[in-house]
Chains A and B, each alone.
Chain A
Amino acid sequence: MKLTLHIWRQKNASSAGKMVRYETDASEHMSFLEMLDVLNERLIAQGEEPVAFDHDCREGICGSCGFVINGVAHGPLPSTTVCQLHMRHFKDGDELYLEPWRAAAFPVIKDLVVDRSAFDRIIAAGGYISVSTGSAVDANALPVRKKDSDMAMDAAQCIGCGACVAACPNASASLFMSAKISHLGLLPQGQPERMERALNMVAAANEELFGSCTNIGECEAVCPKGIRLEFIARMNRDFLKASWTFRADRVEGD
Chain B
Amino acid sequence: MKLDARIPSGPIEKKWEKCRFEMKLVNPANKRKFSVIVVGTGLAGGSAAATMGELGYNVKAFCFQDSPRRAHSIAAQGGINAAKNYQNDGDSIYRLFYDTVKGGDFRAREANVYRLAEISVNIIDQCVAQGVPFAREYGGLLANRSFGGAQVSRTFYARGQTGQQLLLGCYQALERQVQSGRVTMYPRHEMLELILIDGKARGIVTRNLVTGQIESHIADAVVLATGGYGNVFYLSTNAKGSNATAIWRAHRKGALFANPCFTQIHPTCIPVSGDYQSKLTLMSESLRNDGRIWVPQQKGDKRKPSQIPEGERDYYLERRYPSFGNLVPRDVASRAAKGACDEGRGVGETGLGVYLDFGDAIRRLGKGVVAERYGNLFEMYERITGEDPYSVPMRIFPAIHYTMGGLWVDYRLQSTIPGLFVIGEANFSDHGANRLGASALMQGLADGYFVLPYTIGDYLASTKLDKVDASHADARAAQNEANAQVKKLLGVQGKRTVDSFHREMGKMMWDECGMSRNAKGLEKAIGHIAALEQEFWKDVKVIGAGEELNQSLEKAGRLADFFELAQLMCRDALERQESCGGHFREEYQTPEGEAMRDDDDFCYAAAWEYKGPGKKHELHKESLSFEYVHLAQRSYK
Contact = CB atoms under 8 A, between A and B. Distances in A.
Answer yes or no: do A and B interact: yes
Interface of A: 11-12, 27, 29-31, 33-34, 37-38, 41, 43-45, 47-50, 52, 54-64, 77, 79-80, 84, 86, 88, 109-110, 113, 115-117, 119-120, 123-125, 127-140, 142-146, 149-150, 152-153, 156-157, 159-160, 183-184, 187, 189-190
Contacts of B126: 131, 133-134, 136
Interface in B4-20: none
A120 B69 contact: yes
Given A117-B187, A133-B51, A187-B131, A44 B543 contact: yes
Contacts of B453: 133
Interface string B248-287: 0000000000000000000000000110111101100000
A33 B239 contact: no
Nearest to B187: A117
Given A59-B281, A127-B172, A153 B159 contact: yes
A133 B449 contact: yes
A138 B158 CA distance: 18
B543 A183 contact: no
B131 A124 contact: no
B551 A50 contact: yes
A34 B185 CA distance: 31
Given A49-B544, A124-B175, A140-B141, A61 B161 contact: yes
A128 B544 CA distance: 40
Interface in B125-155: 125-131, 133-142
B128 A139 contact: yes
B210 A131 contact: no
19 contacts: A12-B548, A38-B276, A44-B552, A52-B549, A61-B161, A62-B72, A64-B70, A86-B386, A117-B67, A123-B171, A124-B175, A127-B172, A128-B175, A128-B176, A132-B54, A133-B173, A134-B450, A139-B84, A149-B136
Contacts of A43: 543
B380 A57 contact: no
B396 to A, nearest CB: 15
Interface string B115-131: 00000001011111111
A139 B140 contact: no
Given A139-B128, A183-B131, A34 B384 contact: no
Contacts of B68: 120
Interface string B360-381: 0000000000000000000110
A128 B130 contact: yes
B139 A61 contact: no
Given A58-B240, A145-B140, 4 more contacts: A45-B541, A57-B70, A115-B66, A143-B141
A190 to B, nearest CB: 6
Nearest to B445: A133
B164 interface: yes
Main secondary structure of the interface of A (DSSP, over half): loop
Given A47-B543, A50-B543, A57 B175 contact: no
Contacts of B136: 143-144, 146, 149-150
A34 B552 CA distance: 15
A245 B124 CA distance: 35
B383 interface: yes
Nearest to B279: A58
Contacts of A135: 129
Contacts of A136: 122, 125-126, 128-129
Nearest to A159: B164
Contacts of B133: 149-150, 152-153, 156, 183, 187
Interface string B69-99: 1101011000000001010000000000000
A62 B238 CA distance: 12
Given A37-B276, A62-B72, A125-B179, A86 B384 contact: yes
A34 B277 contact: yes
Given A56-B72, A61-B164, A160-B67, A123 B131 contact: no
Contact of A124 (B142, B178, B277): B178
A133 B239 contact: no
Interface of B: 47, 50-51, 54, 65-70, 72, 74-75, 84, 86, 122, 124-131, 133-142, 158-159, 161, 164-165, 168, 171-173, 175-176, 178-179, 185, 187, 210, 239-241, 273-274, 276-279, 281-282, 379-380, 383-384, 386, 449-450, 453, 495, 497, 499-500, 541, 543-544, 548-549, 551-552
3 nearest A-B residue pairs (beta carbon): A143-B140, A128-B172, A136-B129
Contacts of B168: 156
Contacts of A124: 175-176, 178-179
A58 B278 contact: yes
A30 B276 contact: yes
A29 B473 CA distance: 53
Contacts of B241: 56
Contacts of B75: 57, 59, 61-62
Nearest to B545: A49
B78 to A, nearest CB: 13
A157 B164 contact: yes
Contacts of B552: 44, 50
A190 B131 contact: yes
Contacts of B379: 79
A117 B50 CA distance: 18
Contacts of A12: 548-549
A138 B126 CA distance: 8
Contact of B125 (A38, A57, A139, A152): A139
A120 B175 contact: yes
Contacts of A37: 276, 278, 499
A56 B548 contact: no
A149 B500 CA distance: 47
Nearest to B179: A124
Nearest to A44: B497
A129 B67 contact: no
A34 B278 contact: yes
Nearest to A43: B543
A29 B272 CA distance: 10
A146 B138 contact: yes
Contacts of A156: 131, 133, 158, 165, 168
A22 to B, nearest CB: 15
Contacts of B274: 27, 29-30
